[in-house]
Amino acid sequence: MSSFTSQVRGLIHTIADQFELGPSLARLAIIEFSSSARIATPLTTSRSTVNNVISYYRPSGGTAISKGLDKAKAILLDRSGVRQGVNRVVLLLTDGVQNSYYGGDRAAIAAGVNLRQSTLATVIAVGFGGAARQTLDAIASPPAQMHSYKGTSLADLSARLANMCALVASPRTPPPSQPPPVPPPSPSPVAPPPARCNGVSRILDPNLANGM
């Protein structure tokens, strides 16, 4: 296994592990794309399924971002598998631009816009290597400065995405807070606790791509 493949798998593990899976929590789907796209796993609450899919991932072929985004749209519009009334998040990860014989950047951007409009999902677009920043910005949900990022390396992306909770309000329950200190006889008003990263479920679709 190449170092690159190992690093990509590590990055996706870093992202997926931040979500607590369960029927009333998050469900994850993974779509792999190169010159074609396939649903590696539909929406699932199985941690072992997610881990197995990531462990078997190997980059290959060209880059057809639009095909990956179209698969994500199909998952989110499938009423038999998607819960209503929950927020939906699609994470696009690519290290290249869409090849011209798949329609180039224009087709990739159009697929991203169509995905956002038809599913009302928040689309986060991140890339490295040959990925084009302006294309990521156009695919991502506005504001681009929050939902789009062109990293300098996989390590850079790992650092950027290490706290997905802050980006998409991950439902993973944080560690229990420490009990507050005993107030003095004449206490001042107690500040409210910080916001917690639990609540409604999220859907995360890490789309894995290989180069040009």
- Taking only the tens place, the pLDDT of each residue in 115-153 is 999 999 999 999 999 999 999 999 999 999 999 999 999
Residues 187-207 pLDDT 10s? 444 443 333 233 223 333 343
DSSP 161: T
Mean pLDDT computed over 2-8: 88
85 dihedral zone (left: phi>0; alpha: psi -120 to 50; beta): left
> Partners of 148 in the beta sheet?
125
The yes-or-no verdict on residue 177 having pLDDT over 60 is no
* Integer angstrom CA distances of residue 165 from 125, 133, 143: 16, 23, 17
Residue 179 pLDDT: 53
The yes-or-no verdict on residue 113 having pLDDT over 70 is yes
